[in-house]
Amino acid sequence: MARGDGRLTTELDPDNPGPRDACGVVGIWAPGEEVSKLTYFGLYALQHRGQEAAGIAVSDGARTVVYKDLGLVAQVFDESTLAPLQGHLAIGHARYSTTGAPTWENSQPTIRSTSTGTAIALAHNGNLVNTADLLKEVDRLGLDMGGTTSDTHLITALLAARPDESVAAAAERVLPQLRGAFCLVFMDENTLYAARDPQGVHPLVLGRLASGWAVASETAALDTIGAHFVREVEPGELITIDEHGLRSVRFANPEPKGCLFEYVYLARPDTKLAGRNVYATRVEIGRTLAKEHPVEADLVIGVPESGIPAAIGFAEQSGIPYGQGFTKNQYVGRTFIQPSQSLRQLGIRLKLNPLVDQIKGKRLVVVDDTIVRGNTQRALVRMLREAGAVEVHIRISAPPVEWPCFYGIDFATRAELIAGSLDVDGIRAQIGADSLGYVSMDGLVRATEQPASRLCMACFDGNYPIELPAADLIGKHLMEPQPQSAASHSPTARSSATQSKRSTEASTQVREGTTA
């Protein structure tokens, strides 16, 4: 019988997941430091960005070693797995799959040797939109992909296909060929590299350590490892770090289009994006919601965790008291135990339980970050009414999500997005709320303190700043050998006994055998 894997999940309803975050990447160049542990703690700070797999590559100047596996950072690594990862240079990755199934083979960092013996390890946050073209180029060059099906492996293969050039020179040739969102950290035996797509869709920041440098997806990761924030890696920039210092080149002209959804949901509240604190942004969104969608109520509550700052802002602006409406169980893992019909209404109660004494007899404003399919909000409204709420008014700190993302967020398809087929009142009726209000696009943009011209809002307005190919040349499973159902790619749907055995054997092989 299949058993639960015991892994924690942030999903309130794992059967109806919300938007899956972009991945998290870390790079460290720090001679004399325990770079694998610094990378580990950096990934730990970025765990919210990827919860399917984790990995670290380390070089001591002579060889590069990769250790990776499926699971959370703290499950993949411990003292015994980190101890052999010695060197002066490391990169790390926490994965959510956006191209390629969530298998061990597609976990990162990737590693590949050139014909002259130089090892290149690479970690990628984002998603390419010209994967089909890159796959043709890889086939033309006769490069073996070894059964991998992610766009990240294509990048690594193309970098390693130029043995007559330095890695930096190869990168300057390959990076301009990439289309889509990419924040890359990669390395050879002696040098750390970092690159960001010309649009700068997702964040990548540079920090200074006492004895070196750090690169990470968010400033919160730099804070965690004691690195001083220096600046963002600029859109279209390639950074090289080695014993000679830090060097920078432009491989493309910058055309900034930062992801607006980072401010709403993806980034940690203690992170700064374009100089703006994310927590402050979310509180301001809540204030805007209160102005745009006022309501008479007795209590404002937030849906943990990302709805709480906006709920605080709503309460401050409206004068309605803020309170805790739910207790959240932080320790619930995914389960393979199927509830009987009589137990199906347990739903998100495994994660959240209402505080009845706070709720009973009150008119509630419930602030959440987004509505994707509507299943979670419908369950929350029902739960609150059962707890005695007399009115439930839902306020959402983002505009309706009507379009899928192709730049690194694993949204549902448009057919699955509730806002793709229903207007606001239709959605309100579907979830059973007394009223429903979304923050306006203008209000959300103002809260970021960024010009609208520098933001990607495609999931809200359908205007994709990076041109997309034909529908049959894009998608999560584009490189899969044959079509498979979504359930077969879900970590919750696999045979845990088979998968566990394979991933353990595979990671042992990487730790002990796949070195360069």
Measure the CA–CA gap between 465 and 79, rounded to whole angstroms.
Answer: 44
User: Long-range contacts: 9-13, Cβ < 8 Å, 24+?
Assistant: 9/51, 9/332, 9/333, 9/334, 10/48, 10/51, 11/351, 12/303, 12/348, 12/351, 12/352, 12/376, 12/379, 13/347, 13/348, 13/351, 13/375, 13/376, 13/379
Candidate list 14, 19, 21, 23, residue with the active-site label? 23
Q: How far apart are CA 304 and CA 374, in angstroms?
A: 16
459 belongs to an annotated ligand binding site: yes
456 labelled binding-site residue: yes
DSSP for 312-360? HHHHHHH-PPB---EEE-TT-B---PPPPGGGGGGGGGGTEEE-HHHHT
Check whether 306 is labelled as a binding-site residue: yes
Checking DSSP bridges between strand 245-250 and strand 24-29, what pairing results, if any? unpaired
CA distance linking residue 260 with residue 18, whole number of Å: 16
Q: How far apart are CA 374 and CA 18, in angstroms?
A: 10
Alpha-carbon distance 175 to 134, whole Å?
A: 11
| Kind plus residue range of the DSSP H or E element containing 245 | strand 245-250
Is the CB of residue 299 less than 8 Å from the CB of residue 325?
yes
Query: Angle CA(313)–CA(315)–CA(318) in degrees, nearest 5?
Result: 105
Angstrom distances, CA of residue 119 to CA of 122, 188, 383, 490: 10, 5, 54, 32
Strand 391-396, strand 363-368: pairing:
parallel
Q: 6: which 2 tokens?
A: 């015991």
CA distance 501 to 78: 19
405 is in an annotated binding site: yes
For the chain, helix, strand, coil in percent to 5 are 35, 25, 45
Q: In terms of DSSP bridges, do strands 53-59 and 64-70 run parallel, antiparallel, or are they unpaired?
A: antiparallel
Q: Please name the residue that has the structure tokens 């001083």.
A: 228
How many Cα neighbours within 13 Å face the side chain of 25?
31
133 is in an annotated binding site: no
Q: Is 183 a catalytic residue?
A: no
Do the annotations mark residue 183 as ligand-binding? Answer: no
Residue type at 47? Q
**Host H or E run for residue 75:** helix 73-76
3-state secondary structure at position 120: strand
Output the six-digit token pair for 86: 């010695």
- Whether residue 507 is annotated as binding a ligand: the answer is no
User: What are the DSSP calls for 483-512, one per residue?
Assistant: ---HHHH-TTTS-HHHHHHHHHHHHHHHHH
Q: Whole-angstrom Cα distance, residue 306 to residue 264?
A: 8
Q: Before 189, cis peptide (omega within 30)?
A: no
User: What residues form the annotated binding site?
Assistant: 259, 306, 368-369, 405, 456, 459
Residues annotated in the binding site for Mg(2+), as ranges?
306, 368-369
Catalytic residue set: 23
